[in-house]
Amino acid sequence: MSDSGRSESRLDPMNLPPGQILGSRYRIIELIGAGGMGVVYRARDMELNVDVALKLLRSDFPGDEKTVERMKNELLLARQVSHRNVVRIHDLVIDEAGAGLKYISMAYIEGESLRRILQREGKLPVERAVALMLELCAGLEAAHEVGVLHRDFKPENILVDVRGQAFITDFGVARSMQATGGQTKTGTVVGTLQYMSPEQARGEKLDQRSDLYSFGLVAYEMLTGHLSHESETTLEFVSRILGRQPGDPREINAAIPAYLAEIVMRCLEPEPALRYGSAGEVAQAIKGQRAGSRPFLSAVMSAVMPRVTWSGSQEKRRILYLAGGSLLLASILLAGFRLVPAYFIHRESAVTDKRETILPERGSVVVLPFLNRSSDPQLEWMRTALEEILISELSRLRQLRVPRADDISQLLSDLKLSDEAARSEGNLREVARFLSCDRILAGSFARVGNDLAFEIKLYNTRAGALVEHRSFKRSGAMERVLETAAGLAPELRKEIDPSLADKKVSFEGMTSSTTALKNYAVGIEGLRQGAYGKAVEHFQEAVQADPKFVAAYARMSEAYDQWGHQDEAKKAYELAVTALKDSGRDHLLDTYQLRAQYALLANDLDGAIQLYKQAAETYPHNAEIYRALGNAYERKGEAGSGIASYEKAAALEPNNFRVRLALGKLYVLAHKYDNAIEQLGRALAASEQLNNDQGRADALNALGIVHRRKQRLDDAERYFLASLEIRRKIGDKRGVAVSLQNIANLYSAQAKYPDAEKKALEALKIFEELDNQKGVSDIMFNLGHLYQDTGRFQKALDSFRRALSIASPLGDVAFLAQLHERIGQIYFLLGQYPDAETYHKQALAEREGIGDEEGVLRSFQGLGDTYLEQARLKDALARHHAAIDRSRRLGYAEATAVSTSQMGLVYQLSGRYQAALDTYKEAQGIFAQLGIEVRLAEIEKRLASLYLEIGDAAHSREHLQKALAIAAKVRDQALISEIASIEGELLLADGKIEAAREAFQRALAAAQKSGFAKALIAAEISIARLECLYGSKEKGKELLKKRPDRAEEMGQAEAIARCLVYLMRVPEEKIGPVQTSRWFEKLREFELRRYELEFSLLASQRATREGRKKQAKDYEDYASGLFETLSSGLSQPLRESFRRAFQN
């Protein structure tokens, strides 16, 4: 009989009343939860006099031996896990003698489940979600380290206490990783379906990566307020366990930082091999990615992503194709690669359903290269000329889709077909299949005396058939044969479809000059072969023969552009636009393209987009227009619109290899990495089927970039190296340089700086040999990035300047802004603040002009930091406050914390000590949640400095020790120097002169290693001051007197203030009243209040010694008033510390 008078023999575990006693030890307080196999009560452990949680087996749950075994299993496994983020299990009680209840006692957590929090609040703030994610990772890692899987990780099994700490509970379905499978018995999968990994749902053998998938689902829900597969049907569930990944969480919550979305999506990879290897890796990715890539830091330390190049081949005109049907990658599965899962290759494209609405009603026509049947090689140029004429005339019809001659030439090259071999029945079918066309024109010509005879065969390829529909034969005098060929276009159009408009064709639409056309045709062949110099020469001869030959100007510009001479390309387009005037061709497709290309070269992205959209409306079935529109959107940074345009191109050209590659790139820019891998997997499969080495290399390079962005650096390296090997083999020099550049960027990210520099310089040499200016510019940017990271600031500046000189004419405003920002950062680090301000302002103006929100944020921070060093405190405060507003709007917590910390420094320098303390602690809280150690060390250093200023040595030492501990791990030499300087000041205050001297020397050595001018002059001033006080006073004074001039050159206000104060402390130094007054006014201009206070006290003492009583009194009164102002906001203990500091 219990104390409450109730018999235990008939107790219902679902309805235990408050006060019920179990096992003579536990008094029930309240029911706090119920799950699939048990109920949980809060109870009082009367022996230990503490509250516990009791989990009882449900009365309606089978109480067989296996169930009891599972409860024992929970206890045995969970007790192996001892961690602050895992609920502790105390004991298992099987009360056979009493009520027959079975229950587990465990620690009681005063709080609530994550499920209740999500039901009440919906999505969590990003900072709060990140903090919980890190704690959950720590708990899972502890379990996995002792071989324990949770297998039922979900919000219901996560508790959050009143302090916000997370606890993992309910290892009721946990199973040792040494177990043989994922099922408890055949056909029974243990766990909660909504939070199961695909392999768990399939009943396969599990490891820790299964829990990471469940963790990813929980993280997704915390960040978005929704399940990743909400309202999932049975069919959709089956699809998920077979490999479907949920959508990007930023589609629901745009405030989620890109890096965090990437981490969650990697946890949700359907293939376990593509997830993180451990919960510890997830935690490191959350912490390290922010600290490593640092995309939203204050401009002094921000690291803009290196410039990457996607393709070694010339992307604009070279087109590869993908065969339809299911494709396999078996022959290219390189050892150690995490290649694209097979379902990517077999799955239909999302654009398949769109094809019916975008394909032209009249179909598409392919014009094959003409064959020269005569033995006269002097007529070879006519092959290209005739093909261009027919394509130009047929493409004017809006109802037809007519692929470009360059596209067809590339396809035949990919298929390893000569122009002759392409005419066989089987190969014509293959061409039709790859190009998704329903008609093919195949022409030939031969010289007969003074005439030229030619024949064009029209093949109908609808429904996979091949029927020679009709043959057209013509002949004419050599001097008029081109006009005759052009005149065939109306007949061909009528034969293709009688309802098509019958327009009169004028050959003069291209040129009436045979010489011009001949050079134009030869130039096109040079362009296709990559002989850009030769191509330019022939296009120049073409326009000399016909100054109104618009197409020749356009192709000349294209050749210059791909050759890397953008200035010349722009001039050629200007001539083409001039030639268009009064031509009456404004409505034609090539005219739209020409004007749009000119707009692009002029960096008028909106104008180019508008022209391409007009062209797409006029010619809705032209895939090239959609590709060009997609490229323009990409340049503008609108990846979503670019994807939409390329999807339309894919609907028209489902087998186009380059469309897949471009889509992959755009999906990367949109941070949709799984979509990118799908498209790149198709491109890689296509290149394998075509046995196209160039295609393989380009796709592998692009996959390397994707994996670099996903922080899978080992995989990225293997892809890049594989691409490099192929490019070396086929002699693709530009491609080799591109691969070397990407490998260099990768090594730099891994801090393999010597290897990175070696690869980058090798790539630079190749780009210079090729006279590829854009490539040289990108390499110089990346080398500058590397030199900055390794403290070689002058070399970094030289590299960025060279990149800028090359990039300026190219018109890429976003890149120019990056370069201006980088140069501003280097000038900042070199202590040349006016120059730094100039470049940061230029970057800001450029970013505001193109609407780059993230870039504007970085520029605000860069300017704020620059103003801080110049003691322009109001300007610094305004810029960092604006940065905080923007970072909060964008959801960038780290950027918010960085500018908050900088505002704290403004408050400290202006003597608002309590405001500084509060602000530093606010920033510290965010950095602690994010786990960014280098930033935490900076905050601890600033707190140590602040407490030292106000005379609280004990707190200063406490924070200094914390800063030292973190700095030793992050190895930031500038930070180490500043910490050592504070350590020296504390030792000096304790009278430990030699120890202080040693600390200041360490500060100087670290500053010299860092190359950071501010840290260097600060250490030099500290050493000079020590000499004045405890060494050679003359030497110390000379050192101090030199430093103000250097500080003046830098505009480093605090360094100037320190020198003036320290010189005032030297009694022997002759400083007259006029000089004292000038120095005092300078300090007042800086508004560095602490230095004002110290200087005014020293000036009062000096005036008293020299008998200038009135001046002494004036300085003393000023100091008294300033002291009251500075100490007014401090607590009484800190106010007393501050008073003692200045009395001494």
Please compute, for residue 745, the number of CA atoms within 13 A of its CA located in the half-sphere on the CB side.
27
| 3-state SS assignment for residue 1005 | helix
564, 809 Cβ separation under 8 angstroms: no
Q: What is the mean pLDDT of residues 289-302?
A: 35
Longest CA–CA span in the chain (Å) reads 124
| Superfamily, domain 356-604 | ABC-type transport auxiliary lipoprotein component (3.40.50.10610)
What is the distance between the alpha carbons of residues 569 and 863, in angstroms, rounded to a whole number? Answer: 36
Q: Say which DSSP state 165 is in.
A: -
Percent of the chain with pLDDT over 70: 81
Between 902 and 657, name the one with better pLDDT: 902
pLDDT at 903: 94
Q: How far apart are the first and last CA of the chain?
A: 76
Sequence spans of domains, the chain: 8-108, 113-293, 356-604, 972-1055, 1070-1144
Out of 122-131, 198-207, 293-302, 754-763, give the one with best mean pLDDT.
Answer: 754-763
Q: What is the mean pLDDT of residues 936-960?
A: 91
Q: Are strands 158-161 and 21-22 parallel, antiparallel or unpaired?
A: unpaired
Q: Are strands 188-189 and 166-168 parallel, antiparallel or unpaired?
A: unpaired
pLDDT at 493: 73
Question: Measuring CA to CA, how many Å separate 989 from each of 948, 992, 1011?
Answer: 10, 8, 28
pLDDT at 846: 92
CA angle in degrees (0–180, nearest 5) for 947-953-954: 105
Among candidates 868, 958, 959, 892, which has minimal Cα distance to 920?
959
What is the distance between the alpha carbons of residues 647 and 667, in angstroms, rounded to a whole number? Answer: 11
| 3-state SS assignment for residue 522 | helix
Q: What is the mean pLDDT of residues 758-776?
A: 91
Residue 62 has pLDDT above 60, yes or no: no
Sign of CA dihedral 728, 730, 733, 739: negative
Task: Grade residue 552 by pLDDT with cuts at 50, 70 and 90.
Answer: confident
pLDDT at 1006: 86
- Provide the residue count of the chain: 1144
Percent of the chain with pLDDT over 90: 19
| 3-state SS assignment for residue 867 | helix
Residue 321 has pLDDT above 70, yes or no: no
Residue 998 has pLDDT above 70, yes or no: yes
Topology annotation, domain 8-108: Phosphorylase Kinase; domain 1 (3.30.200)
Instruction: Please write down the long-range contacts of 1105-1113, taking CB distance under 8 Å and 24 or more positions apart.
Output: 1105/1067, 1106/1073, 1108/1073, 1111/1073
What is the distance between the alpha carbons of residues 218 and 264, in angstroms, rounded to a whole number? Answer: 9
701, 312 Cβ separation under 8 angstroms: yes
Task: Grade residue 758 by pLDDT with cuts at 50, 70 and 90.
Answer: very high
pLDDT at 797: 93
Q: What is the mean pLDDT of residues 432-452?
A: 83
Alpha helices in 546-672 (DSSP H): 550-563, 566-580, 589-601, 605-618, 623-636, 639-652, 657-669
876, 867 Cβ separation under 8 angstroms: yes
58, 14 Cβ separation under 8 angstroms: yes
Question: Measuring CA to CA, how many Å separate 194 from each of 214, 227, 228, 230, 780?
Answer: 9, 9, 9, 9, 50
Question: Measuring CA to CA, how many Å separate 32 from each of 115, 157, 167, 1075?
Answer: 13, 13, 16, 76
pLDDT at 96: 53
What is the distance between the alpha carbons of residues 211 and 171, in angstroms, rounded to a whole number? Answer: 12
Taking the mean position of all CA atoms in its chain, how far away is CA 443? 50
Mean pLDDT across the chain: 79
395, 412 Cβ separation under 8 angstroms: no
- Give the list of residues 6+ apart from residue 140 with CB closer than 8 angstroms, or none: 150, 153, 168, 208, 211, 212, 215, 279
What is the distance between the alpha carbons of residues 208 and 785, in angstroms, rounded to a whole number? Answer: 38
Catalytic residues, which ones? 152
Indicate the class that CATH gives domain 113-293. Answer: mainly alpha
Q: What are phi and psi of 42, to 5 degrees?
A: -85, 130
What is the distance between the alpha carbons of residues 588 and 402, in angstroms, rounded to a whole number? Answer: 14
Q: What is the mean pLDDT of residues 918-929?
A: 89
Please compute, for residue 866, the number of CA atoms within 13 A of its CA located in the half-sphere on the CB side.
26
Residue 1022 has pLDDT above 50, yes or no: yes
Q: What is the mean pLDDT of residues 8-26?
A: 79
pLDDT at 15: 81
pLDDT at 194: 76
Q: What type of residue is 485?
A: A
Among candidates 543, 547, 527, which has minimal Cα distance to 535?
527
Specify the pTM. 0.54
For 209, the token pair is 């990566």
Between 1033 and 210, name the one with better pLDDT: 210
Q: What type of residue is 1110?
A: K
Task: Give the lowest-confidence range in 368-372, 573-577, 589-593.
Answer: 589-593
Task: Give the lowest-confidence range in 308-322, 679-693, 805-819.
Answer: 308-322
CA angle in degrees (0–180, nearest 5) for 492-476-479: 110
1012, 825 Cβ separation under 8 angstroms: no
Question: Measuring CA to CA, how many Å separate 991 from each of 275, 335, 988, 1023?
Answer: 56, 64, 5, 15
What is the distance between the alpha carbons of residues 691 and 86, in angstroms, rounded to a whole number? Answer: 54
Q: What is the mean pLDDT of residues 789-793?
A: 83
Taking the mean position of all CA atoms in its chain, how far away is CA 1086? 39
Question: Measuring CA to CA, how many Å separate 117 from each of 41, 156, 158, 221, 754?
Answer: 19, 10, 10, 11, 50
What is the distance between the alpha carbons of residues 184 and 172, in angstroms, rounded to a whole number? Answer: 12
Sign of CA dihedral 947, 952, 953, 956: negative
Residue 516 has pLDDT above 60, yes or no: yes
Task: Grade residue 467 by pLDDT with cuts at 50, 70 and 90.
Answer: low
Residue range 842-858, pLDDT digits in tens: 999 999 988 788 889 99
What is the distance between the alpha carbons of residues 735 and 530, in angstroms, rounded to a whole number? Answer: 13
pLDDT at 488: 75
pLDDT at 7: 44
